[in-house]
Amino acid sequence: MSLPTPSHDAMMQALATSPGLIVPRLDWDRPPWNRWAFQHIREILPTAEVWRGSGPTSELPSALQDLGKVTFKRRDDSKSSVDNLIDATFTDGFIVLHCGRIIMERYANGMTPRSLHLSQSVAKSVVGTVAGILIGKGQLDPAAPITSYLPELAATAYKGAKLQHVLDMTSGVRYSEEYTDRYSDVGQTDVASGWKPVPPASDPGFRWPSHMWEQVLGLKVQEVEHGSRFLYRSVETDVLAFCMERVAGKRLAQLVSDEFWSRLGAEESASFTLDPAGYALASGGFNATLRDYARFGLLHLNQGTVNGARIVPEAWIIDIRRGTHGLANDYLRQSLPNGLYRNQFWIEDRARETIMCRGVFGQLIYIAPEDDLVVVKLSSYPDFLNLEFSIDTHRAIRAMAASLTGTR
């Protein structure tokens, strides 16, 4: 008997009131299920807490403005308002901070200020931030070979690659990021990470990795010279995280809490999804509240400090914003024509210092030092990627920034 597939609008209510409606494990991140699932990961997958610590919450003063009526030109040249964008792009949470104050905050689709929302690849920037802390402490060296931290990888395509290569996703390792192909490398990551079961009726001769470390050890093909190209591959962040765990002697969730989350002044503990071996998925398994993602954005906006206390080395923040070795490819240029990728962050325009954390299905943290602006958008798109939604969101943010700074 096939499971019912209610509309997006009915999903939240249906799951709350219909005990017989079960989210399928194979498709929980696909529409319409993701409308509910992204806010309820702990009810679907095993997770590890990223403790907020016992310190005080970092206050976010509020000075609300009616930015919803700000208009901008969409990619198709039609005119839209920010309110229309929020409604049309499957937004769950949207917050804008200017000069450190909340000036717009919206919740939709059943999300509340206490809801943890899956960040997808925004997690990469969280992990990259903690890597910067460890680099500042001298525990990691971007110029060091990965095999100096993980000697087991000498038998893989990562032999000869440096830590900076995985930070910038410029290793030459073959890993296919084809989200709709269940047999692709990222499809295998779905199984290795514990996110998905082995697809039913799959080839019985196909060997699926049983956990993330096993998948990394199985990456044997080097396509190009390390450092010669940018190619977005999620597994690079997991290789980085394994290096971090090795030098720190801690699991990733504990490491993120100790070095970062417990010092951020977060309102809530965060969480990571866990693979069958207990590894926290660095490349996409982080969950937090809307305001706490905004606090993460403020940390970077304020050059690594929270209320005057330094958490991230300033040199690391500057390297993300101004690093000279970031690369791009045609895919990146579709949405960011003059953009780069550096240290697990997206650079909007190499001529500016605006950086972004981005994840599939519409997750975004936008950090613009030039405008003293942080914007967070949490979403549950019906598609992994939607170029039109992405470009329209950037245009809406720039229109809001212009209205705030008087440059329109």
Catalytic residues: 121
Instruction: Using alpha carbons, list the distances in angstroms from residue 79 to 74, 130, 405.
Output: 6, 40, 21
At 227, the amino acid letter reads G
Q: Are 171 and 158 in contact (CB under 8 A)?
A: yes
> Which residue's structure tokens are 């690369």?
327
Q: How far is CA 92 from the centre of its chain?
A: 15
**CB distance 65 to 293 below 8 Å:** no
> How far apart, in whole angstroms, are the C-alpha atoms of residue 267 and residue 53?
10
Q: Alpha-carbon distance 120 to 130, whole Å?
A: 17
Place of tokens 């679907």: 44
Three-class secondary structure of residue 72 per DSSP: strand
Which tokens in the block code for residue 318?
Answer: 């500057």
110 close to 14: Cβ distance less than 8 angstroms: no
Residue 211 · residue 277 · CB < 8 Å: yes
